[in-house]
């Protein structure tokens, strides 16, 4: 990072938005979990798509690596710089357009948070299809880059299903505006989808057109307790394809115990496993919920919420889990997808594997059971260095042995790049590398992400 480049970047974005202070850069070079740390040379905060393009051209021409940062909520170290990078933050890309109620869409800057999109949609009587516990800090640009899923995926799909247009700056500084006002547009390559899930390796998303959905008039929420995981999975299997399903969330009793102790949020049902179910639609679905649970093997009666206050209280049982995971220090996180038929055996084997490597640790399992997307978090975890890598590698191998995918909704980032071959063939990886090389021949953009 030369003084000449610093001056050039200041000329593009303004001196106030080029930061080289060591303390600021240290804070920006650690991941959301607190486990992984890198090193950056500067933080640059462009305020427009054109400024992003100029910054990328300057850094490419100077041979300086760039790591893109949004809300920095990545759980796989996807925004941790490893090559004295320039950090390109999208936080100033804050435009939030008027909601088009007739077409159910809104155009937003990449730095707009999920919560802001949700509020704008709700004010127009609509709903945005993706919801995350990190809604107040996660930005829609980062969510699109990782194809985030979340709490409503079983109903609305992942982030990719919500993106109907975008602006993206390519590594050479070219700006692609891919927008259409028609719902059916099958002209040429679907370029927009290429950048969704690419984790910033092919370009920087600067603005998006997002699909919105009608707001359901009725919701009913329930938490059910189960003595064993197989019974919960059987019930989840019955609900996941049901008309009106809005959410289907797994919580284990270890997670509930943590939230009860440290967040004052106790589960309202007994059982080693809990299942949060939400149905939504234009009519009251309480009877449908009751009928579907009639033959379920429950531990006692479910807790049911039909009004907003009761529903929020039940949702807090699930969302409070994220708040308490760091109570014993940075947890070790695994975001995986598994066939429903493998989840019980995986859960048993994973607990045994953790006990073998870290007897004092507590494995906590929760996630989106409708998609088989689980978040295994190991808390009270003190292993570092080679010991941590040994457990991580063993867990990745266990996931693959049970037919799972090493990455589900959080992306690969830098943390899982060494395990890409467990989920993709050599031909797959070679093709992805070829696409990367076509867009970014020198590999300077998000160099540490996805590929070893």
Choose the final residue of a domain: 293, 325, 357: 325
Give the separation between CA 116 and CA 143, rounded to whole angstroms.
14
**pLDDT (mean) for 139-164:** 94
Name the token pair of 99.
Answer: 């909601």
Q: Looking at the domain assignment, is residue 451 inside a domain?
A: no
- For residue 105 the two structure tokens come to 């869409």
CATH number for the domain harbouring residue 183: 3.30.465.10
Identify the helix (H) or strand (E) that includes residue 350. helix 343-357
pLDDT digits (tens, 9 = 90+) for 157-216: 999 999 999 999 999 999 999 988 877 778 888 888 999 999 999 999 999 999 999 999
One domain for residues 317 and 338 = no
Give the pLDDT mean for 400-429. Answer: 90
Looking at residue 322, what is its pLDDT? Answer: 84
Domain of 408: which CATH number? 3.30.70.2740
266 Cβ contact list (under 8 Å, min separation 6): 256, 259, 260, 317
pLDDT (tens digit, 9 = 90+) per residue, 221-274? 999 999 999 999 999 999 998 999 999 999 999 999 999 999 999 999 999 999
Q: Is residue 416 a contact partner of residue 75, using CB atoms and an 8 Å limit?
A: no
Q: How many whole angstroms separate alpha carbon 180 and alpha carbon 158? A: 20
Q: What is the pLDDT of residues 277-310, one digit of tens each?
A: 999 999 999 999 999 999 999 999 999 999 999 9
The residue from 259, 293, 325 where one domain ends is 325
pLDDT at residue 237 in the model? 94
- Does 10 fall in a domain? yes
Q: Over 80: is that where the pLDDT of 217 sits? A: yes
SS3 263: coil
Domain check: are 103 and 168 in the same one? yes
pLDDT in tens, 332-380: 999 889 999 999 999 999 999 999 999 999 999 999 999 999 999 999 9
User: 339 with 377, same domain?
Assistant: yes
pTM for the complete prediction?
Answer: 0.93
Q: How much is the pLDDT for 349? A: 97
Is 209 in the same domain as 103? yes
Answer yes or no: is 446 within a domain.
no
Q: What range defines the domain where residue 208 resides?
A: 96-214
Residue 328 pLDDT class (50, 70, 90 cuts): confident
Is 55 contained in some domain?
yes
- In a shared domain, residues 204 and 100: yes
Considering the domain architecture, whether residues 236 and 251 belong to the same structural domain is answered as: yes
Asked whether residue 39 falls in the same domain as residue 55, the answer is yes
User: Does residue 324 or residue 409 have the better pLDDT?
Assistant: 324
**Average model confidence (pLDDT) across the chain:** 94
Answer yes or no: do 118 and 76 share one domain: no
Could you tell me if residue 114 is inside a domain? yes
Residue 297 placed within a domain: yes
Percent of the chain whose predicted confidence (pLDDT) is above 70: 100
C-alpha distances (whole Å) from 100 to each of 45, 103, 104, 118, 192 are 29, 6, 5, 14, 20
Is it the case that residue 108 has pLDDT exceeding 80?
yes
DSSP string covering 141-156: HHHHHHT---TTHHHH
For position 352, what pLDDT does the model report?
Answer: 97
The pLDDT tens digits for 72-88 are 888 788 899 999 999 99
Residue 138: what pLDDT? 94
CATH of the domain at 295: 3.30.70.2190
Predicted local distance difference test score (pLDDT) of residue 175? 97
Domain boundary among 45, 70, 89: 89
Domain count, the chain: 4
E strands, 54-179, in order:
66-69, 85-89, 105-109, 126-128, 163-169, 175-178
In a domain, 452, yes or no: no
Based on the fold, state whether residues 142 and 174 are members of the same structural domain.
Answer: yes
Pull the structure tokens for residue 449: 């992400």
User: Are 111 and 210 contained in the same domain?
Assistant: yes
Q: Please indicate, yes or no, whether residues 192 and 239 belong to a single structural domain of this protein.
A: no
Say whether both 247 and 357 belong to one domain. no
Q: CATH code at 35?
A: 3.30.43.10
Contact 351, 363 (CB under 8 A): yes
Query: In this structure, is residue 449 part of a structural domain?
Result: no
Q: Retrieve residue 138's tokens.
A: 């996660």
The pair phi, psi for residue 237, each rounded to 5°, is -60, -40
């Amino acid at each position: 990072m030369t003084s000449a480049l610093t001056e050039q970047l200041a000329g593009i974005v303004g001196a106030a938005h080029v930061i080289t202070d060591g303390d600021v850069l240290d804070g920006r070079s650690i991941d959301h979990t607190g486990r992984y740390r890198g090193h950056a040379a500067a933080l640059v905060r462009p305020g427009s798509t054109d400024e992003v393009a100029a910054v990328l051209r300057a850094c490419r021409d100077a041979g300086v690596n760039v790591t893109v940062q949004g809300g920095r909520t990545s759980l796989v170290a996807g925004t941790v710089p490893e090559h004295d990078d320039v950090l390109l933050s999208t936080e100033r890309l804050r435009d939030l357009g008027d909601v088009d109620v007739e077409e159910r869409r809104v155009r937003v800057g990449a730095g707009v948070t999920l919560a802001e999109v949700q509020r704008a949609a709700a004010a127009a009587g609509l709903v945005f299809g993706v919801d995350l516990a990190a809604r107040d800090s996660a930005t829609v640009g980062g969510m699109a880059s990782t194809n985030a899923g979340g709490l409503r995926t079983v109903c609305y799909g992942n982030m990719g299903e919500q993106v109907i247009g975008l602006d993206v700056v390519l590594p050479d500084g070219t700006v692609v505006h891919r927008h259409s006002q028609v719902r059916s547009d099958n002209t040429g390559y679907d370029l927009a989808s290429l950048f969704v899930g690419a984790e910033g390796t092919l370009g920087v998303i600067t603005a998006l057109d997002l699909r919105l959905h009608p707001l359901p008039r009725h919701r009913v929420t329930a938490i059910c307790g189960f003595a064993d995981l197989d019974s919960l999975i059987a019930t989840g299997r019955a609900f996941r394809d049901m008309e009106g399903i809005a959410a289907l969330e797994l919580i284990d009793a270890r997670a509930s115990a943590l939230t009860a102790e440290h967040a004052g949020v106790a589960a309202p049902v007994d059982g080693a496993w809990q299942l949060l179910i939400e149905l939504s639609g234009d009519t009251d679905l309480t009877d449908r919920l009751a009928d579907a649970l009639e033959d379920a093997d429950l531990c006692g009666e479910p807790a049911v919420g039909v009004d907003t206050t009761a529903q929020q209280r039940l949702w807090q049982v699930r969302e409070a889990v994220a708040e308490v995971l760091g109570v014993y220090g940075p947890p070790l996180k695994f975001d995986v997808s598994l066939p429903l038929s493998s989840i019980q055996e995986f859960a048993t084997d994973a607990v045994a594997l953790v006990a073998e490597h870290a007897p004092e640790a507590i494995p906590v399992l929760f996630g989106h059971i409708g998609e088989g997307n689980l978040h295994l978090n190991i808390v009270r975890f003190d292993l570092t260095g080679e010991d941590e890598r040994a457990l991580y590698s063993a867990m990745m191998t266990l996931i693959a042995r049970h037919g799972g995918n090493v990455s589900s909704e959080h992306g690969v980032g830098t943390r899982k790049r060494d395990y890409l071959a467990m989920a993709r063939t050599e031909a797959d990886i070679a093709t992805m590398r070829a696409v990367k090389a076509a867009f970014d021949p020198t590999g300077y953009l998000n160099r540490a992400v996805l590929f070893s």
